[in-house]
């Protein structure tokens, strides 16, 4: 009962959304033509946690090549999977 109540309470906050709304960014990216490349597509509301789907704010460090390379290396090490690019 406590878990059910906690979940119900969380659904009343902007941090939780339905499955359908959560899938909107992926569906948009897979089906719409002309989207900006290397951009963040997702919720555009408060702190990008909800609201209408669109082009969000991509922080400068997300385009930092050394950071991207390091993240790729760490991800490969963590998963044990190497993807040749």
pLDDT of residue 48: 83
pLDDT of residue 72: 92
pLDDT of residue 69: 92
What is the domain partition of the chain in residue ranges?
2-57
Residue 39 near residue 14 (C-beta atoms within 8 A): no
pLDDT of residue 16: 75
For residue 38, give the nearest of 56, 16, 12, 11 by alpha carbon.
56
pLDDT of residue 43: 87
Q: What is the mean pLDDT of each run of 10 residues along the chain (85 residues)?
A: 88 77 89 90 84 87 91 94 82
Rounded to two decimals, the pTM is: 0.58
CB-based contacts of 62: which residues, under 8 Å, 6+ apart? 40, 68
């Amino acid at each position: 009962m406590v878990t059910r109540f906690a979940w119900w309470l969380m659904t009343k906050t902007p941090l939780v959304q339905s499955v359908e709304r959560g899938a909107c960014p992926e569906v948009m990216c897979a089906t719409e033509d002309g989207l900006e490349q290397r951009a963040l597509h997702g919720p555009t509301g408060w702190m990008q946690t909800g609201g209408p789907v669109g082009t969000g704010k991509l922080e400068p460090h997300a385009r930092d090549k050394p950071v991207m390379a390091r993240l790729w290396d760490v991800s490969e090490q963590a998963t044990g999977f190497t993807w040749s690019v």
